[in-house]
DNA sequence: CGTAGTCTTGAACCGCGTCAAGCTTGGTGG
DNA sequence: CCACCAAGCTTGACGCGGTTCAAGACTACG
């Protein structure tokens, strides 16, 4: 069984929770999602307005310009937000990880495409009651503000990457971002070398980074050739020297996420 | 007197309001800034915690990593948010226009440089009382959420520009953005051809667009040569055919801002 | 075993960056 | 009033990084 299959299996295990009656108290993103600050009684309100949906890799969650009668959170898996020009050029503008929020209260037309990159379990809140709750209880609105400000910061880092980094720096930055996220979630595997799963195809990475898929492939090969990374299959990467990778990313420091 | 000088004079007139005791009720951004939804009594609270500061073109408002003991709104003028790599490569990540908000409640270290691009009058709120108000009254927090979501949308359009547009399309897009903003503010000059002021130097435009200043200059010259725009001095532009300009920008529609 | 999706690699091209020179404009001081 | 200077801008020549086009390899799956 490949590491990729293992990852998909893990997602499957989580997605068995999708048949409606799941308790928020047991939710894996209970303290990181939009509901993070909610009290027990507020959770009960949310449970009344929520339902789960599962999406397969490549499947659209919403289409640009489409009406969206729900908002909600990614429970497991990865989804991408993309914008396109008429002639088909595509740029990813958001990467939704577990606990990230999709949809804007008080606007029902989606401004970009949302597409499942892996299997995704999505916790939907019906729009109307959710908007009502935004008005009446401060905890949800406050948490959503925090999360939106964080996303704005991330978008601005991303703009620096798109506007000013070289192809090599973009690839190294992307791997660094994924590595930090996985390190933050998973219990440290002690001693063993850091290994990560790429949740995106080469093409999706290209759309993330403002490159072509050929350039992505070439730069990954170059980093491998020079020993900065090692490949395990196509989608898993071992990082023998994280500091070296960060150097290649062009950023000034490792942000303190990893010793 | 050049159009640029006229613009600066207008800013000067506004900035005479900076000596502290200005009433919020008379503020030019009263219904667009973070205070937009506030009632009279809430305005009184805000007046107690506010003070004005003026900045000259090129002057820093805050420096990345610096402590910021205030948050606030641009009253008049234009400021830029920029991020830089160690080797000096610079990317603009935000363009602050009148009514835009600067600073994040509950974080006192600025994550990017904010620099005045023109003369700027800035309405500062002392951090502590402002944060207190965020907690106690819903109107300010709610408005800030709206504004942050709008900024996030703008940042994502910007990412599409940075990642996927050509130099020519970037320039055309930038002029379009500025033109729409000026059209939204100023009373329609009836009949006369549309004329706009660029609030940025060629270098600042380059930092906005992820280009070099030479490329910016060349593309502006090319658009002029082909009759898409006309130059009035270096900083003012006449748009004889707005639809043509929008075509050059690569966007699929004019967004309905202008007939 | 064949086929489709994904990825890699090569060769040629070109858009934009780099380097460099010169222009325009406004301000300063003789 | 003119000489000088600095800041901002324009233009040209050249080269490189990344795109484009094309061919082929690897893997999963029927």
Q: Where are the domains of chain A?
A: 3-153, 165-249
What is the bridge-based pairing of β-strands A101-102 and A236-239?
Answer: unpaired
Encoding tokens for residue B8? 């600066």
B154 touches chain A (CB under 8 A): no
**Residue (of A75, A76, A117, A71) closest to A94 by Cα position:** A117
What pLDDT shows up at residue B185?
A: 74
Whole-Å CA distances, A231 to A1, A173, A191, A239: 16, 17, 19, 9
B210 pLDDT band, cuts 50/70/90, is very high
Q: Do A164 and B85 touch (CB under 8 A)?
A: yes
Non-local (6+) Cβ contacts of B60 within 8 A are B113, B114, B115, B116
A11 CA vs D18 C1’ separation (Å) = 36
What pLDDT shows up at residue A253?
A: 61
**Residue (of B259, B109, B120, B249) closest to B175 by Cα position:** B249
**Residue (of A108, A102, A109) closest to A128 by Cα position:** A108
The model scores a pTM over 0.85? yes
In chain B, residues with a C-beta closer than 8 Å to the C-beta of A141 are 138, 141-142, 145
Q: Which CATH number is associated with domain B3-153?
A: 2.60.120.10
Q: Are A170 and A209 within 8 A, CB to CB?
A: yes
A185 CA vs C6 C1’ separation (Å) = 28
B193 pLDDT band, cuts 50/70/90, is confident
pLDDT digits (tens, 9 = 90+) for A160-171: 999 999 999 999
Give the B window 161-220 contacts with A, CB below 8 Å.
162-165, 209-210
Residue B92 parent element (H or E): strand B90-96
Residue spans of chain A under pLDDT 70: 1-21, 186-192, 252-259
Protein footprint on strand C: which nucleotides are under 7 Å from a CB? 6-11, 15-20, 25-26
The CATH class for the domain spanning B165-249 reads mainly alpha
Non-local (6+) Cβ contacts of A235 within 8 A are A3, A4, A197, A198
Distance in Å, alpha carbon of A85 to nearest chain B alpha carbon? 6
Mean pLDDT of B198-210: 98
In chain B, residues with a C-beta closer than 8 Å to the C-beta of A170 are none
In chain A, residues with a C-beta closer than 8 Å to the C-beta of B141 are 138, 141-142, 145
B68 pLDDT band, cuts 50/70/90, is very high
Beta-bridge mates of residue A52:
A123
B256 touches chain A (CB under 8 A): no
B19 pLDDT band, cuts 50/70/90, is very low
């Amino acid at each position: 069984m490949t590491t990729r299959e293992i990852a998909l299996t893990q997602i499957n295990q989580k997605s068995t929770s999708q048949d409606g009656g799941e308790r928020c108290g047991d939710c894996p993103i209970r303290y990181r999602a939009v509901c993070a600050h909610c009290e027990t009684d507020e959770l009960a309100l949310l449970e009344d307005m929520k339902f789960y949906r599962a999406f397969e890799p490549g499947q659209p969650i919403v289409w640009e310009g489409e009406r969206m009668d729900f908002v909600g959170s990614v429970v497991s898996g990865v989804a991408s937000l993309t914008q396109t020009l008429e002639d088909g050029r595509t740029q990813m503008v958001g990467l939704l990880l577990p606990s990230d929020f999709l949809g804007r209260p008080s606007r029902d037309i989606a401004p970009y495409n949302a597409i499942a990159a892996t299997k995704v379990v999505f916790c939907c809140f019906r729009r109307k009651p959710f908007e009502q709750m935004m008005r009446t209880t401060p905890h949800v609105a406050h948490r959503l503000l925090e999360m939106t400000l964080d996303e704005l910061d991330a978008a601005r880092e991303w703009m620096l990457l798109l506007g000013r980094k070289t192809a090599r720096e973009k690839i190294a930055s992307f791997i660094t971002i994924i590595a930090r996220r996985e390190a933050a979630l998973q219990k440290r595997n002690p001693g063993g070398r850091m290994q990560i799963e790429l949740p995106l195809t080469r093409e999706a990475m290209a759309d993330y980074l403002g490159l072509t898929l050929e350039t992505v492939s070439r730069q990954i090969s170059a980093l491998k050739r020079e020993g900065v990374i090692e490949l395990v299959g196509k989608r898993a990467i071992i990082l023998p020297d994280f500091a070296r990778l960060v150097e290649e990313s062009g950023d000034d420091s490792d942000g303190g996420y990893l010793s």
